[in-house]
Structure 1
Amino acid sequence: MRIRSLNIIIVVCLTLLSKAWAANVIEGVRIWPAPENTRVVFDLAEKPDYSYFFLSNPNRLVIDFKNANNVAPLANLAKNDTRINRIRTSTGKYKNSTRIVLDLNSAYTETIFPLAPTGPYGNRLVVDLLDKAKKVVVVHKPKDNKRDVIIGIDAGHGGEDPGSISKNGTYEKKITLSIAKRLEAIVNKEPGMRAVMVRGGDYFVNLNKRTQIARQKQVDFLVSIHADAFRTSQPRGASVWIVNDSRAQSELSKWMRSREQNSELLGGGGELIKKTNDDNLAVFLADLTKDKSLEISDQMARNVILELKKVTKMHKSTPQNASLAVLKSSDIPSMLVETGFISNSYDFKNLMSSTHQKKLANAIFTGMKNYFVKYPPAGSLLASLKPSKHKISRGESLSLIAHKYKVSVKQLKLANNLKTDVVRVGQTLTIPK
């Protein structure tokens, strides 16, 4: 305890001393490694005044914070990152400035931008180091026969964006990732189905990037997992959200849209780093798929609600509508599942329970599976397992039909609950596989 108290006193003293000669202070540095990029976030007392440049042999990113002092510890910050060897200070070119050097393992594409205070964060400078890779071009080739049905699983928030925060400081991003991983495991155990995670760890993924990942993986359906918080503690229970033409403007719907916009500022700078060459444009122009996508989303949401009712209280018992970015790609059927309110003490206790998380994941999976068993995508294994139908024509007998489909008469009778071998013209039989 004495050592900890002494460290706190030292940091406070350094902060006070730094303000004596510098207008700004680097109060903290955070690193968020992700599969395709590493994000470094500098937390500052004031808006940063900075410049930067790259050096090679070895690769380095040098950032000069003008009229600023650093009190953040830098040792071992990058020990778990594959792109940064270390972060250190060096002699700067400006008086009363701090030079931060990132020793890099390779050359990267960079995006560097400041962010104004919002939510739980103050002024920040964000550095994104992206792997230099060839652009992924999605070629929609005919999928193999008996392929897996691919479920995209999006764990809401992550990294720099904590999502909602409970009274005791638990972040929504932790709960959503835990439920998403449980859902992933259940999906991958099911023959004919396979899960694709939009994010598999604690890092931020831009909202537009989430649907791009789903499109690149050619998912059949995208489910986004969330655990909401409202401005009061009264609301509780789960709900399922989709986008449709009505776009209902309930109070909760407006609250969710506002929260989503704030999350973009927390995590990615939103429109500050959006590219003008939007690959999604061609998709949005192909609006012919929109109605079918919305139909699938609505039916899927109703299936999932039926299963969620068995394991948790429902805040809404029918699919809700909101214009949320993760749901708006017209070529990808999708839904957003709010698993409960972490602002409600009863819901929060359940959401922190591994048993309850498993029940939620199983309910979501069962609802999706029931839909795909009934309406399997063409060429999938589930489609090959779906029983076909045969309508009896004049002159056909049960034995003739059994021979035609290479099944036994006994199998036909069991599949159709027949007590005798007698069939009638116009009768429809289920042909078992």
Structure 2
Amino acid sequence: MARVWRDEWGRLLALLVAQTRRLDLAEDALAEAFEQATHRWPADGVPEAPAGWLLTTARRRVIDRLRAEAMHARKEPLIAMDERHRLADNESPGAPGDEVLRLVLLAAHPALSPEAGAALTLRLVLGVSTADIARLFLVSEPTMAARLTRARKKVVAAGIPLAIPDPDVLSERLDTVAQVAYLAFTAGYAPGSGPEVLRVDLAGEAIRLVRLVSAQTTQAAESPSLMALLALMLLQHSRRDARVDPGGSLVLLPNQDRTVWRQGEIAEGLDLLRRLTAGADRVAVTSLIAASYVLQALIAAEHARARTAGETDWVAIADLYRQLDELTGSPVVRLNRAVAVAEAGDVPAALALTDGVERELPHSHRAAAVRADLLARQGRVAESATAYDRAIELCGNDAERAVLQRAKRKHTRDTGRSNGIP
């Protein structure tokens, strides 16, 4: 049942939405079909075509609901849709098509905020429960339910079509899908709050989403944004087993046991990068988003290739961050560039890169944390301690806060010893 849910939920929901143009009706009917299957299949056996059984059962639920609310249904707003893509009642659920891509593009439409699009995509396309989405995004279930409801209503009110746009527009929409997936992956890879070092499930769902979308059409499969993002996520996600110690504490990159990095995922990520690059230095991409993902993946690849922390080519990484900084102008990228420059041996230049970043990221602890470490490296202990205090105050993730507290104690202790203080 779990496998069928994971493999078929999004496609079956897309078929039902295409037929009914009612998100609420399609979702409820499919959920009831799965619930009925949990009671019937253990006794009757799993049907030969599980997806077909579920679709037929859900369609019967839809018919029952429509009959019961005939007058009300005529007043319901409908999702806009090209009539050429309406389903015949006897369409086979196994027929090849792009139903899932339609649903992804619906949920990740630019009319929705990236956060709302990410949550709605997880719910509609991947079948993640509202409770699990709430847990992954660190909000209560009623709060997430309300967000999802607002997102659904906006989809309907905005008349967002359940259709695949023309090829010239599709490439832009695939960039939007990539951004939504990246947002979901980041929430799993580096949670901004809560007790968890990482949320493997959410990061894994983001990777599955990109794989699912890429499998739908040739254009999606060859999308530079999706390919680059998949390479980046695989290279980052491959380190998940080494990022947490047995006690649940965060393990920083230099201290990770690289023997437990997942080599299969690293190899796939590196292969995707090879397909994306033309020549030694030129990247074969057509959008700024794709270029930024390629550069980030190239940085992750440098870490993946190093057998030990000491073998890491920080000069190459610093140059890649320079290119990414010039491309995006992002203060977060500038912080990462500063770290790489410091690791390459130029702490004063790294510290200069952090000037003004805290003003650009007033609610982020990372700007203060990076500056605190760089100040400590220069022996400016009092300033470093003040910066650590700001970082600790702003940090919402328990594991990261513990790392910052340990770093502050270490720098204070080391300085005290050098001054003869016990």
Which TM-score applies when normalising by structure 2?
0.30
Higher helix fraction (1 or 2): 2
Structure with the larger RCO, 1 or 2 (CA within 8 Å, 6+ apart): 1
Q: Answer with 1 or 2: which has the greater Rg.
A: 1
